[in-house]
Every structure is written in structure tokens, then in C-alpha cells.
Structure 1
Amino acid sequence: MIVQVNDLPGFRKKALQWAAAFDTLCYLDSNGFTDPYSKFDTLIAAGARAKLTASAGNAFDQLDQFRKSNPGWITGFLGYDLKNEIEALTSSNPDGLKFPDLYFFVPEYLVFIKGNEVEIIANEPHLVIKAINEQESSAAGQQLAISLKPRFSRQEYIDTVNKIKEHISRGDIYVTNFCQEFFAENVLPDPLNIFMKLNEVSPNPFSTFFKWNGNYILGASPERFLAKRGSKLISQPIKGTAKRMDDIEADEQAKQGLRSHPKELQENVMVVDLVRNDLTRSAKPGTVKTEELFGIYSFKQVHQMISTVVCEIQEGLSNVQAIKNTFPMGSMTGAPKVSCMQLMEQYERSKRGVYSGAIGYFSPDGDFDFNVVIRSLLYNSSNKYLSFHAGGAITYHATAENEYEECLLKAAAVMEVLGG
């Protein structure tokens, strides 16, 4: 069923309110960013007809079987610690969230928004439209301020970055992504309210509201991990960040500074090389190419440097295998990949879990699209634990103090929304 909608922002908000009442929900919003690879502006998948929960071990095989049994739309997430299934790695850092490594579901209801058209896929789509239109348009409620505590003090973070740089000087690694957690215990936030505010403060092309079994992922991600369109695989790693400025001239200078900054260019090209290498495992020989290098894209909070790497997928390779071949994404690991993941397990103080993982969908036409879970709040309502990670690329030329400031910049939108 397809209907025309005049007040799209109003309809989108009411649709999200309607869907948030379900125990299982995946809401993906591009926030009006145009993208040649997007299938829709907004996807809402609500209710679960079937679901898969898995831990690292044989999770990708289970997902492959689940996909074969459910060839229509399925949505879900892949946690960073699936790395332990792909390589001989472990995760033993503290984990306050206790999320599974993998969760996917077959939705009962699907709502797609593209332009001013809304498509409903459900048994009785007219009842879905009626239920959405009957939602009371509620104003954002007053959220009690929540202060997040860091796992590192400023000095501890700086000291750790300098230790990581010693590994780079020795040649153990070239570039890595070092992350820290900010967290709050015994808190009762309103996840829907927080997401709506976050999406206003920091609207990004891969924003997500994901809910299952009282757990929540509230995401404002700007980054695509991996998509498939026909026979083409697309990866768009982000490396390079500059703060937006209020003054137009200063903002343009910040943008140009990012475009020509040696450290930012270095970390971007290193990750592009890593992604190219990862894609060769899934590509027809000779088809891996960089479609765009060092593209500068502006978001509400920051400018980002984004590159696009593509290839033609091998005949007969399953979508799940193509994802496994590149997981976790190079922008969140570093190079060499395994050495970086081992070292970060040693230096980080919390399990990454869904952070540095991916959320997305498989569609009936054989395509898929997954983001990178960054700039995201994670919440377990059963133990009242709220978590936010931020990270940055560490290279030989990195300055520890600047990396700490970049972490705070990435956390700014979340801190603003929480009011802490």
C-alpha cells in the first residue's frame, strides 16, 4: 500500500512513536542526506515474526542460515566482538551492557518513506496508517540531566595514547582506533525522547533507533560500513574530523584545513588501503577501486573526510560471507588489523560490544546496507546502564592532547542531549 503524505516530518515522528510501542524495532533515518546508494529516506521495521540471537563462535553461519530461511526484509546488528569468531582474539574488558554479539529479526510491519510517498508492507496496511495518524503528537518531555563518567581521566587518556604511539614508532602497527567509554549507572532515561533530541541536534545519514527486549541503541552515525547494490559492494570509511564553526568564513577555513591536514590525510589513506585489501576477499579479481578519495562532507556538528571504495562481488559468494570478509570495519580497527585489535583490547578499559559494530538490513532483492555504530548511546533498561563510546585514529603524527579534544567533540551532541 502506497500513500502520499503532506506533512512528512509530522508523519515520521508519529510513525516512530507508533513503532516505539513494539518490543522490537529498527528505525533507520537518512535525515534528508542525498546518497546515490540509498533505497529510501526512512525505514521502520516493527514487531518480530522471527528472530536470531547469537554469540561469537558460529554467529555468521547462523545468520547465513537465518537469511536463507527468511529471504524477505530482515534487520539487525553485528557487534564488534564478532572479531573473536573471525580471528584468534578475545574480549575480556568490563561489559556493563550485556548485549548479544548478533541480533536480527524478521519484521511484522514495514514502513518506507521516500520523498513524500509512504509504503506500508503489512497484512492490513490501512490499519497501520490509521494507527500512525491517530498518534498524539507529543512534545519532547523534560529529561532529567544525566552525567556520564569517563573510564579515563584526561591525563590517563593522554598517557595511553603516548604508549600506543610507541608501538607505532616500533612498527607494531601503523594506525589504530583507540576508544574510551563514558557511562552512567542506575539511570532511567526516556530512550525515545533522547533519540528525538539527538536526531535534532545531530541529524546524520545513518541515524538509528533500535530496540529489543528492553535494550536500546540510539544512534547518530554518519558512516556507512558496507552496502551491496546489484553486484557492487560499497564501503565508505570515515577518517578525518574538523569542528563546524558558527562564522561562515571560519567554517570554510576549518573545511579547507581538514582537506589539507597531513595527519588526517594520512589516516584516511591508510584506512582506504585496508578497506581495499578487505574487499579483495569478496571481489572479482581486478575490480577493487577507490571511487572517491578524501571527500569532505559537512554535518551539523562536524566536517568529515569520507572515501568510497567499491568492487564487483564474486559469483556465488553469500551476502553474509561478504560482510564477514570485511568485519570489523577498518575505520574502527586500524592496520595491521589483527595487531590493532589485540593492542586495543589491552589498552581500552571496556568491551566495545555493539559500538564499532554495524546496524542495517538485508532486502528481498539481494541487496544490503549497514552503518558503523558510532556517535551512539546504548542502554540496558534491566540493569539501568547507559553507555557511550568515542574514539579517534592514532597515527605517528597524532598529538595526544588533540586526540582527547576530538573525542570530546564527537561526544558533544550526546552530552548536550543528556544535559549532564
Structure 2
Amino acid sequence: MYSFKIDFADPRDDAAARLRFGARNPRATLVARTLAEVRPVLDAVEDAARAGAWVVGQLRYEAAPAFDAALRTHAADGPLAWFAVFDAPEPWDDALAPGDATVQWDEALARPAFDAAIARIRSAIAAGECYQVNYTAPLSGRLQGDALALFDALRRAQPGGYAAYLDMGDEATLSVSPELFFDWRAGADGAGDILTRPMKGTAARGATLDEDAASAAQLRASPKERAENVMIVDLLRNDLSRIAQPHSVRVPRLFHTQALPTVWQMTSDVVARTRAGTRLADVFGALFPCGSVTGAPKRSAMQQIHALESAPRGVYCGAVGVVRPGGAGGVAATFNVPIRTVALRGAQVTCGIGSGITAGSQAADEWREWAAKRVFVERASEPFDLLETLALDGGVLRHRAEHLARMTAAAAHFGRPWDAARVQSCLHALCAAHGAGLWRVRLLLDAQGAPRAEAFVLQPTAQPVVLALATRPFADAHGEFTRHKTTRRAHYAAFAPPPGVFDTLLYNTAGEITESTFGNVAALLDGHWITPPLACGLLPGVGRAALLREGRVQEGVLRLQDVARVERWAFVNSLRGWLDATLAMP
């Protein structure tokens, strides 16, 4: 059974209601399996919408030669265009899919191959063959669980934007793209307004509010990122001029920074007024594929892509969207650029990751950008709960307000429902059942916002505890599952302490001490107790924050070379408080 869910932002009004609907069992499907069939399918899509139907579907990247034979691609691995026609949409169902979904991803592109590709692109740019190439590679994996559950997890990981779930029988597309390809609203004669919003320019989100603001400011000011954006804006201006009324192409907004959960993205708006007689196939003929996922000039950039990438992109970097009636015989068509998109065949899943490479691109920077972009799918690939661990002493929860404030922030970060009254009720019931003694309480919040609390007897800890210095850097120090406390702890489990050791002392790739696997740390150095700042990459512990407020410790960077000079150590968390510690060196 075919099924579809569309959750698109209104690209022309941030405050407007989203276009949200479901659909099942179309009355017709329109499929293009050859290049010659692509334009006729798009004509049929438009005719159906002008006659009152709603149409949902997609084009693969490999459909490009249907519009320009000089656009080079690999052979497609499925239908070039696929659309479903409905008499009317069904109401959006807010209920989340039952069950969970887990994806086991294979290793991504190896770093030496990545570096070689970047060097090859820069050589081509230096030779004058092109001036930007959007280079990509696929992640591959296997799904365990339900596809709709994975789509729900992807929407939580990448909220907003232009999300679409297309179950087409033999394959499914799960897109949570933040990028608009085009929004075209035309009258019966084809004349109308068209908006494109290319997304080019990326910066990772900061670990703190100050770092985050600085990252956005650096993106806006970066000559390299601005140049990359302008190149694509110019390409889109030229593409739109092919279907635009004279002198109607404009750029009303340039270098807008958009906050996504894991990255800042730079977008610009390019608009035009389409000429009378313009058809949907003409819009695709002028614009497809979007220049933001090809590079510029488009023909030469796509030749480079064909040489560098060994397999078809599929729906990734193609188009996914909705064509619907526009009133009085008109039409409204909204399509995303399917980045942040998972393609599913049976249990096999793929997800493309890429970036625009220019003369100023450095392989190390692009590698970090790819890592930041793939976080959305990693977040969605394994179910997890938000977690707070509190001490319950004589029926009173220690630092209750601070723990709830931290969980509130985590819920906002991960897009989870937060009902404060429901959480308080859950804790009240647990406290009433454990009114005497000392307990370790685990407060959990699941993906649907349902809280649950568990209590375990808390035994006293003998002091001093023994810490052991990690034998390698903690690569996930700046990850979101380090900054926020959850049940996803595989990155910490890899640093489990050896027998006889209380916990492992971690340090980041810059050689800065961060925390231990389940607590913060403090060190007496040069007569002052210091604790690593959040910028080093660590959980903002509730116990740590209390010590800072009291003035018992102050923030200070502690490097590996300083460890030998530390006079005393302490392990700190809200549950156990301050524990004197000694450090066992490897």
C-alpha cells in the first residue's frame, strides 16, 4: 500500500501554518523510467493539479539529462520520476509510529580518498574547468524496525524545513530537508511568482551560547562561505532568467543564516516572475538539478561529479515535492532539495552527505563539515531517552530544580515534548514511595515526552576514589550526546575503567582534560581548584555548577602537560557530591 506524509514549511511566510497532510492509495501513479518520459510525466502532473488533484512525488538526480543532454550523470537505479495523484489530501496524523527504528551504518568514505577528491577538484578549479563542485558520498546501512518510526526520529533530529515520507512500494524516501528548491505559484496562463532559496555555506553549532553566536557571525563574515553562496546565487539568477519575464529576477535576501540543530546554514532568496505559457516541465528544465547541489558552471561541475562519484545519487540531490491546485485553474508547486534524506529499499538504507568545494576549500575543514552534517542521521539512528540522575535523601530530591532545568534544555534541543506538570507528578509519586533512606533516582523522558522514574539504593562511596587517565583522546568531547545527558552512552562505554578504578579521566583531541565518564572533575593546580570549562567538551554537571556558584572552584583549562603538576584531584557530580580522588597514570 502506497502511503505519504508531507510536512512543509510555508516558504513565503515563517508565521504561516505548515502544509501538513497524509495520503494513501492514489488513484493514479505517473512514472518515468526513461529520459524521454520525464517531461511528459511532469506535464501530466501539472494537468492533474490544474484539474483539482493533489500530486506528491520525486525526481532522481539522474533525471537531469532529460532537460539538458550535456548534464552528465550515472545511470539511474530506479524510476527517474515517480508521482502519485490524489483527489484530496487526508488530515495530518500527529500520532507517532509505534515501535522503534535502529540503523547500523557502515563506515563512511575513507579519509585518504576524501582528501584525494578535494585535491582533484581544486586542481580542476585552478585549471579553469569550473569554480565550484558539490562533492558527495553515500552512507549505507541496514534498518531494524519500522520506516515510519525512522521518519519520525529524523523529523525530531531535523525539525522544520520540508519533510516528506514517500512509500512507493519498492522503495521509500524519508526526507527532512531544510532546503527549498522552488515554490512556484502560477495562474491559468503559466505566469506567476517563483521563489528559490539555495543553501550554501555551513558552520557547526557552538557548544555554548557565546560559541554558537560567534559561529554564526563567522559564517556570515567568511569570505570563502560568502563567495560559495554568491556563486550559486548567480547560477540560480541565470537559470531563472530562462523562464522569467524580462527584468523580473531579483535577490531580495542575501546571506541569511539559518539555525539548524547541528549546523548553521547560509541561504539566499532568488525570485522571478514566470512568463505566460510556462509549464512545470519548463521550471524543471531551467533549474534542475538545483545549483546548490551541483556547483558552477553546472555542466562542467556535473562532469566533475560524474568522474569523482562512482554511483548514482538517486533521489538525493534530486527533488521531492507537492503539486496542488492554485485556484482559478492555477497551480502551486513546492519542491525541496532532498539533502538530509534517507532512501530505503527493503532494509537497505542510504544517505548522502556532501559540500561545495571551491578554490579556498581545505580538506580538513570540509571533513569536519561532513561530520557536522551527518549528525542528524546519527541522532535518529538509535532510540534514546533523556536522562537525569538525582539523589533522593529522606524524601527530598537534591538539586531538583537544576536537574529539571537541564532536562528541559535537552528536550528543546532534541525536539521532544515537555510537560512540566507531568514530570513533576512522576517525581512526586516516586518520592512518596521512597520517603526514607538514600536513593539513586533515574528520571527518563522518551521520544513522546513520557517521563518515568526509577529508584535504586545508593551506597556510600569510599574515598579517595581512583581515576585513570584515558589512553587516547575522547573524540566525542564536543558531540551533542556529551553536552546533553541521555541513555546513549556507547561513546563513554568505550572508555570504561579497568578493574579497581572508579572512573576514567578523559581528554579531547586538543589535549585538554574534559571530565570522567559519569562525572565532572576538579584539580588543585597552583593553589587553585579548577574545573574544565564547557568549551573543552563536557556535560554541564549540576554538581559542578553548584561548586562554581559557591566559589569553591573556578573554570580553567587543564592540559595533559599540566597533569603532573596537579596537587590534588576530585570527582564531582550531583549524585555523590565531592569525592577526593587520586590519579593512576597509564
Q: In which range does the TM-score fall when normalised by the shorter chain?
A: 0.7 to 0.9
Pairing 1:273–2:234 present: yes
Residue in 2 that maps onto 1:127: none
Structure 2 SS opposite 1:407: helix
Whether contact under 8 Å (1:180, 1:349) holds in the other structure is: no
Distance of 2:148 and 2:121 partners within structure 1: 38
CA distance in 2, matches of 1:140, 1:418: 16
Tell me the equivalent position of 1:78: 59
For structure 1, which segment, 24-33 or 216-225, has the greater mean C-alpha deviation from structure 2 after superposition? 24-33
Task: Indicate yes or no: 2:343 matched with 1:378.
Answer: yes
1:224 and 1:371 in contact (8 A); partners too: yes
1:397 maps onto 2:360 in alignment: yes
Describe the shift of the 1:32–1:148 C-alpha distance in structure 2 as closer, same or farther (beyond 3 A).
farther
When residues 174 and 139 of structure 1 are mapped into structure 2, their CA distance, relative to the original with a 3 A threshold, is: closer
CA contact under 8 A between 2:42 and 2:280: conserved in structure 1?
Answer: no
Residue 189 of structure 1 and its aligned partner are, at CA, apart by: 4.1
Contact 1:46-1:109 within 8 A present in 2 as well: no
Give 3-state SS (helix, strand or coil) of 1:110's partner. coil
Identity %: 29
Aligned mate of 1:99, from 63, 78, 86: 78
Q: How does 1:310-329 map to 2 (within 5 A)?
A: 310-329=271-290
Deviation of 1:370 after TM superposition, in Å, equals 0.5
Structure 1 position 282 matched with structure 2 position 263:
no
- State the match for 2:90 in structure 1: 111
3-state SS in 2 of match to 1:149? coil
Return the alpha-carbon distance in structure 2 between the equivalents of residues 188 and 53 of structure 1.
29
Normalised to the residue count of structure 1, the TM-score between the two structures is 0.82
Question: Which residue number in structure 1 is paired with residue 380 of structure 2?
Answer: 417
Match among 210, 213, 237 for residue 166 of structure 2: 210
Alignment of 1:5-404 (within 5 A): 23-30=1-8, 35=13, 40-55=18-33, 56-69=35-48, 71=51, 72-88=53-69, 89-92=71-74, 98-107=77-86, 109-111=88-90, 141-150=99-108, 152-184=109-141, 187-230=143-186, 231-365=192-326, 366-381=331-346, 384-404=347-367
Q: Distance in 2 between matches of 1:237 and 1:375?
A: 15
Task: Identify the range of structure 1 (49-58 vs 307-316) with the bigger mean alpha-carbon deviation.
Answer: 49-58
Distance in 1 of aligned mates of 2:194 and 2:217? 30
Letter in 2 for 1:92: H
| Cα distance change on mapping 1:39 and 1:232 into 2, 3 Å | farther
CA distance in 2, matches of 1:31, 1:309: 18
Change in 2 beyond 3 A, CA 1:102/1:138: closer
CA contact (8 A) 2:103 2:141 kept: no
Where do 5+ consecutive residues of structure 1 fail to align?
Answer: 1-22, 114-131
Residues in 1 aligned to 2:97 and 2:22: alpha-carbon distance in whole angstroms: 21
Distance 2:201 2:355 in 1: 9
Gaps of 5+ in 2: 187-191, 383-489, 491-586
Distance 1:37 1:371, change over 3 A: farther
Post-superposition Cα deviations, 1:215-267, rounded to whole Å, max 9, x if no partner, equal 11111211000111341110000001111223111110011011001111010
Instruction: Provide the alpha-carbon RMSD of the alignment.
Output: 2.3
Displacement of 1:166 in angstroms is 0.2
Q: Quick one: which amino acid aligns to residue 112 of structure 2?
A: Q
Q: Secondary structure at the match of 1:362?
A: strand
Q: Tell me the SS of whatever aligns to 1:373.
A: coil
**Alpha-carbon distance between aligned partners in 2 of 1:140 and 1:44, rounded to the nearest angstrom:** 17
Give me the whole-angstrom Cα distance separating, in 2, the residues matched to 1:24 and 1:145.
23
- Does the C-alpha gap of structure 1 residues 36 and 280 become closer, same or farther in structure 2, counting only changes over 3 Å? farther
The offset of 1:390, in angstroms, is: 0.6
Cα offset for 1:61?
2.2
Instruction: Give me the whole-angstrom Cα distance separating, in 1, the residues matched to 2:317 and 2:127.
Output: 26
Q: Is the alpha carbon distance of 1:184 and 1:99 closer, same or farther for their aligned partners in structure 2, counting shifts above 3 Å?
A: same
* Cα distance in 2 between the residues matched to 1:283 and 1:146: 46
Q: Could you say which residue in structure 1 is the equivalent of 2:569?
A: none
Distance 1:196 1:385 in 2: 18
In structure 1, distance between residues paired with 2:335 and 2:10: 18
Deviation of the 1:331 alpha carbon: 0.3
Give, in whole Å, the separation in 2 of the partners of 1:32 and 1:327. 21
Q: Distance in 1 between matches of 2:72 and 2:204?
A: 35
3-state SS of 2:374 partner: helix
Structure 1 equivalent of residue 529 of structure 2: none
For 1:245 and 1:34, how far apart are their aligned partners in 2? 29
Q: Which amino acid aligns with 2:99?
A: G
Give a deviation string over 1:301-321, Cα, whole Å, max 9, x none. 221101000000001111221
Following TM superposition, by how much is the alpha carbon of 1:155 offset from its aligned partner in structure 2, in angstroms?
1.3
Change in CA separation of 1:401 and 1:140 when aligned onto 2, cut-off 3 Å: farther
Against the structure 1 CA distance between its residues 112 and 283, is the aligned structure 2 distance closer, same or farther, given a 3 Å change threshold?
farther
Mean Cα deviation higher: 395-404 or 207-216: 207-216
The 3-state SS of whatever aligns with 1:111 is coil
The whole-number CA distance in structure 2 between the counterparts of 1:177 and 1:403 is: 11
Residues 33-81 of structure 1 show CA distances to partners (whole Å, capped at 9, x for unaligned) of 9835977441323221011110223311232034325532111111111
Q: Which amino acid aligns with 1:362?
A: V
The one-letter code of the counterpart of 1:221 is S
Give the superposition deviation at 1:90: 4.4
Cα distance in 1, alignment partners of residues 316 and 213 from structure 2: 31
Q: CA deviation at 1:144?
A: 4.1
Distance 2:10 2:82 in 1: 27
**Can you list the C-alpha shifts for 1:338-389, whole angstroms capped at 9, x where unaligned?**
11111101101221111001111111111111000001111011xx321110
TM-score, with structure 2 as normaliser:
0.60
Structure scoring higher RCO (CA < 8 A, sep ≥ 6) equals: 1
Matched residue SS, 2:245: coil
